[in-house]
Structure 1
Amino acid sequence: MRNIAVPAVAAALTIAAAAAVPAQAEKAAGDLLVRGRVIYVQPDEGSNLKLGTTAIPGKASVDNSTVPELDFSYFFTDNIAAELILGTTHHHVKAKGSPLGASVDLGDVWLLPPTVTLQYHFNPKGKVSPYIGAGVNYTIFYGDDPGAALGIDYDNSFGVALQGGVDVALTDKWSLNLDVKKLWLNTDVKVNAGLPALVNAKVDLDPWIFGVGFGYRF
C-alpha cells in the first residue's frame, strides 16, 4: 500500500498547486493531445507452475518498474477521445518456493504493451477535466535473459485495460496529467531448468500503472 499511497499524495498536492493557476485548456473535436508521462508499473501477479504436466508448488515474482511513456489522444467530439499509449518496461523475474529452490533467478525481460483506450472526458472546456477509459492491449515480451535457467520463453498475449485520470490546465495549450490504469494481461512461460521436463507457468501480471506528466494540445 505504501507504493500506492506515496504517488497518490504527491498527485493530490500537485493538483492543489495547479488549481491556483488561472488557465483553461479547452478540448474540442479534432484536437490532438500529446502527453509525456513518467509511469510506475506495479504488477499484481499470480501464477500456476507445472513440471511437464504435473502441478508443483511455487509462484512467479515480477518486480516493479519506473519508465517514461508517450501517449496520443485524438478527440472525435469534445467529450470522446481515443488514446494510444506507448511505453516499454523492464522487469526482473524470480520463481519462489518451488522445488527448484527458495528463490530462483529467472533473469530479465522487457514488456512492450501498446494499449488503445476509448475515453470520455467529463469537463472538456474546464480547467479540471477528469476522464475514464477502457480498451485493449497487446503485450510483446522481448529481450529476455534466462538468468539461472538454461532458457526461457514468454508468449505474447492480448489483454484489457481500464483507465481513469484528470487533466489540469496550466495554459491554453499545456496541461498537467495524472493517470491510473489497470491492465489484465497474462502469459504462458516455458522454463528450461535442466530437468527432464520443462517448467510451465501460467502467469497473470495484471499491473497497476500510475502516471504523472504534461500534455500539449494541437
Structure 2
Amino acid sequence: MNKSLLGASLFALALVAPVAHAHQAGDILVRAGAITVNPDADSGKVKVDQGPLAGTNLGGKATMSSDTQLGLNFAYMITDHVGIELLAATPFEHDVKLKNTALGAANGKLGSLKHLPPTLSVVYYPLDNKSAFQPYVGAGINYTWIYDEHVGGRAEQAGFSNFKAENSWGWAAQIGADYMINDKWMINAQARYIDISTKATVDNNALGQGTRAKVNVDVDPMVYMVGIGYKF
C-alpha cells in the first residue's frame, strides 16, 4: 500500500514538474515582450554656444519621458553557461522638456525624438542546465541611434527650430531570468542599465540670427522587459 502511494505521488510530481532542460551550447534563444526605457536624465546647464549671445548660461536642465515598445532578444549559447545576446526593439519615442531656464518661452516641451538602442552583451548563466529556473547576468556595449528629432508646436511658435541630438556609444549591464515551461518555451524577465550620453542643440533666430543653444544630457536609462521566449 505504501509503495502504491509512493508511486502515485512520484507520478503526480512528474506531471506537475516542468520537463525542461535549460540552455545548452549551440542553442538559439529568441525572446519577445514589452520593453520600457525609463530615462534618468541628468543634464548640464542649457547654454548658448553660437550667435550673438554665445557664452550665455540659460541655466535649467533637460528631461526625457519614458516609453514602452516591443522588445526582442536574440541569443546564441557558446557553452552551457555563456552566451552572446543582442537586444533590439521597435523605435522608442521620448518627449524632451526644458525647465527652469532663464528664458520662459524655452521652458516646457521642446520637442520629441526617436531612438533605437541595439545592445550586444555577453551573458552568464550560473546554474546547471537541468534547472528550469535560469537566472543570468550580462554586460556589453550599446549604440543608441537618435533620429526624427523635431520641435513641438509651442516651441516652434517661440522661434525654436532645427532640434538635433547626437548618437551615443556606451556600456550596458543586465540581470535577468528565464523559467522553462517546457523544453522549448520560457518566460523571461530582465532589467538593465544603459550608459547613454548625448549633446542636444536647437536654433532660435528670435534671439538673434544664428543663435543656437546646447545641453549635454546623461540619459542613463533603466530598461525593463517582460515576455516569452523560444529555444531552437
Give me the TM-score of the superposition, normalised by structure 2. 0.82
CA-to-partner distance for each residue in 1:145-201, whole Å, 9 max, x for gaps? 222121211111101100000000111100000000000110011111332321111
Matched, 1:115 2:119: yes
* Counterpart mapping for 1:1-218 below 5 A: 22-48=18-44, 49-52=46-49, 53-87=55-89, 88-101=91-104, 103-123=107-127, 124-147=129-152, 148=155, 149-194=160-205, 195-196=207-208, 197-218=211-232
CA distance in 2, matches of 1:145, 1:25: 49
Stretches of structure 2 that go unaligned for 5 or more consecutive residues are 1-15, 50-54
Aligned length: 199
Q: Note the C-alpha offset of 1:23.
A: 3.7
- Over the matched positions of the two proteins, sequence identity in percent amounts to 37
CA distance in 2, matches of 1:191, 1:131: 42
Task: Report the secondary structure of 2:107's partner residue.
Answer: strand
CA-to-partner distance for each residue in 1:82-121, whole Å, 9 max, x for gaps? 1001112111111111123273322110011110010001
Amino acid at match of 1:97: N
Amino acid at match of 1:130: P
CA distance in 1, matches of 2:203, 2:21: 54
Stretches of structure 1 that go unaligned for 5 or more consecutive residues are 1-19
Root-mean-square deviation (Å): 1.4
Q: Note the C-alpha offset of 1:55.
A: 3.0
CA distance in 1, matches of 2:19, 2:38: 33
CA distance in 2, matches of 1:93, 1:21: 49
CA distance in 1, matches of 2:135, 2:58: 46
Q: Note the C-alpha offset of 1:125.
A: 2.8
